Structure formats: C-alpha cells, structure tokens
Amino acid sequence: DTGVSQDPRHKITKRGQNVTFRCDPISEHNRLYWYRQTLGQGPEFLTYFQNEAQLEKSRLLSDRFSAERPKGSFSTLEIQRTEQGDSAMYLCASSLGGQDWADTQYFGPGTRLTVL
C-alpha cells in the first residue's frame, strides 16, 4: 500500500453514461497525476496537477474528460458520454513535486472501467 487511494476500484457502465473517479494522494504530496493503462501497455499520461493548478493535459484527454483538484488535495476524473474505447485501468499517482528530477511517483491501485 503506497498511501494513494482510489475509488471505486471497479466500475461497469453502459455506453453513453457519465462516470467519476476519485483519487486521494499521499497527504504531503503536491503533485497528482492521472494515467490510463490498457492491457499489455504501459501507463499513458493524461494530466497532472501542482496543488490545485492543472499544469498539463495530454492530447489523449478529449473534451469528454475533465479533471479537478479543487483544494489541492483529492482529485476527480470525470468521463462524459463514455465509449467502449474508454475501457481501461485509470491510475492515479502522487509525488512531492520538488525541483529534484528524482521526484518519484507513487501509484494508487487504480480504477478499472468497463464500458458495455
């Protein structure tokens, strides 16, 4: 257990529905990241936050995806009008966020999304 928690762990939804996932980072960590991972692939970066500011978004993050970190603590990732291609494991990670490039990211257990 790295100290990063995600909820729910599994989500099954029908195509076209909206889903929201939550991530609680390690408490003293300033940075929070979202990744998506499909079977046989490495995690793909989606977006990240420094405190409450969203600093970067991947082009993978279509308009249907939105992420927030309103108080610089927990974060939510919402997917609107889900599509079958959204089925994946959604991983959250956090890090201290210092200037040191050895800013190790610690991952949560992930939310597995299945879109029927």
Partner 1 sequence: GQNIDQPTEMTATEGAIVQINCTYQTSGFNGLFWYQQHAGEAPTFLSYNVLDGLEEKGRFSSFLSRSKGYSYLLLKELQMKDSASYLCAVVSGNTPLVFGKGTRLSVIA
Contacts with partner 1 by CB under 8 A lie at 2, 4, 33, 40-45, 48, 56, 91, 101-102, 104-110
CB-nearer residue toward partner 1: 72 or 109: 109
CB-nearer residue toward partner 1: 37 or 80: 37
Give me the least distance between CB of 29 and partner 1, in Å please.
13
CA 92 to CA 24: how far, in whole Å? 9
Give me the least distance between CB of 90 and partner 1, in Å please.
11
CB-nearer residue toward partner 1: 15 or 103: 103
- On the 0-12 / 13-18 / 19+ scale of CB atoms within 10 A, 98 is exposed
Give me the least distance between CB of 76 and partner 1, in Å please.
18
- Give the Cα-Cα-Cα angle 92, 89, 98 (nearest 5 degrees): 20
Q: And the tokens for 76?
A: 């939510």
The Cβ of residue 100 has, within 10 Å, a number of other Cβ atoms equal to 8
CB-nearer residue toward partner 1: 80 or 106: 106
Say if residues 4 and 94 touch (Cβ distance below 8 Å).
yes
Give me the least distance between CB of 114 and partner 1, in Å please.
14
